[in-house]
């Protein structure tokens, strides 16, 4: 469960739901065969993990959370990106 702000550079504790922003992230965990003898048809589906992340009010005003494949959940600045030079 969420215990503190998802921004690695911030240590704000998760105290109040109405402060900041709560994110619900669904990630597909890669299915790993552990039991070759298993014939459970459901075992072929990738397991879907749902995780919750929270950004404190200050961080939510400046950034959001995105899910990057292979990386996991990371922060993303809300500031508009610099226009491409070309
Ligand atoms: Zn924060």
List pLDDT tens digits, range 3-17.
Answer: 999 999 999 999 877
Is 13 within 8 Å of 1 (Cβ atoms)? no
Q: How far is the CA of 49 from the centre of ligand 1 (A)?
A: 24
Residue 39 falls inside a structural domain: no
Residue 35 has phi, psi (to 5 degrees) of: -125, 100
Residue 63 falls inside a structural domain: yes
Structural domain for 50, as ranges: 1-31+45-78
CA distances from 20 to 40, 56, 66, 74 (A): 42, 4, 16, 16
Residue 65 falls inside a structural domain: yes
Number of domains in the chain: 1
Residue 37 falls inside a structural domain: no
Q: How far is the CA of 47 from the centre of ligand 1 (A)?
A: 30
Residues, CB-to-ion distance under 5 Å, ligand 1: 5, 7, 10, 12, 56, 59
Residue 38 falls inside a structural domain: no
- Whether pTM > 0.85 for this model: the answer is no
Residue 62 falls inside a structural domain: yes
List pLDDT tens digits, range 29-45.
Answer: 655 556 555 566 665 66
Residue 83 falls inside a structural domain: no
């Amino acid at each position: 469960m969420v215990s503190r702000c998802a921004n690695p550079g911030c240590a704000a504790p998760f105290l109040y739901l109405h402060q900041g922003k709560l994110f619900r992230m669904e990630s597909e965990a890669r299915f790993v065969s552990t039991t070759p003898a298993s014939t459970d048809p459901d075992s072929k589906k990738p397991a879907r993990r749902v995780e919750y992340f929270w950004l404190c009010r200050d961080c939510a005003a400046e950034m959001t959370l995105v899910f990057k494949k292979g990386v996991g959940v990371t922060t993303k600045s809300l500031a508009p990106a610099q226009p491409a030079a070309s």
